[in-house]
Amino acid sequence: MTAETVLLAPVFLIFLMFLVGAGRIVEAQGEVNGAARDAARAASVQRTHSEAEAAATDAAEAALSGECSPQVSMSGTDWTEGGVVKATVTCELNLDFLGFGTAKQMAGSSVVPLEQLRRVDK
């Protein structure tokens, strides 16, 4: 019985490490998708494209709360009423805690229509 336990213990440990790594990847993908949603929403209420880029970056950084430094790219239609904005957030997930010394690139995107009643600066 002890020989079986000694032989199976590494298999169980590897399986547990796999589960922890897979769970962290799924959680990180959800966080990046949420950051992209927040970035697109923050950009959609701004008056100009440059203000939208700054607001999207701020929103993505706040949503990821220091886990990584996200890169935010925006695209969409013309910055006019009835248009849309697409925010794509990419982030590198550090998986060093698994002992493999690897990193995984995570990306999420979201498309939001431009707010028709965007704030007006006076």
List pLDDT tens digits, range 56-88: 999 999 999 877 888 898 887 677 777 889 999
Domain boundaries, the chain: 2-113
* pLDDT score recorded for residue 60: 93
Total-model pTM = 0.79
- d(Cα 17, Cα 102) in Å, to the nearest integer? 14
Which alpha helices (DSSP H) does the chain contain, by range? 2-44, 49-64
User: Which residues 6+ apart lie within 8 Å of 38 measured at CB?
Assistant: 59, 60, 62, 63
User: Which residues 6+ apart lie within 8 Å of 119 measured at CB?
Assistant: 45, 46, 47
List pLDDT tens digits, range 104-120: 889 999 999 987 765 54
List pLDDT tens digits, range 15-58: 998 898 888 889 889 999 999 999 999 998 888 888 889 999 99
Q: Which residue has the higher pLDDT, 7 or 103?
A: 7
Whether the pLDDT of residue 122 is over 50: the answer is no
* pLDDT score recorded for residue 42: 92
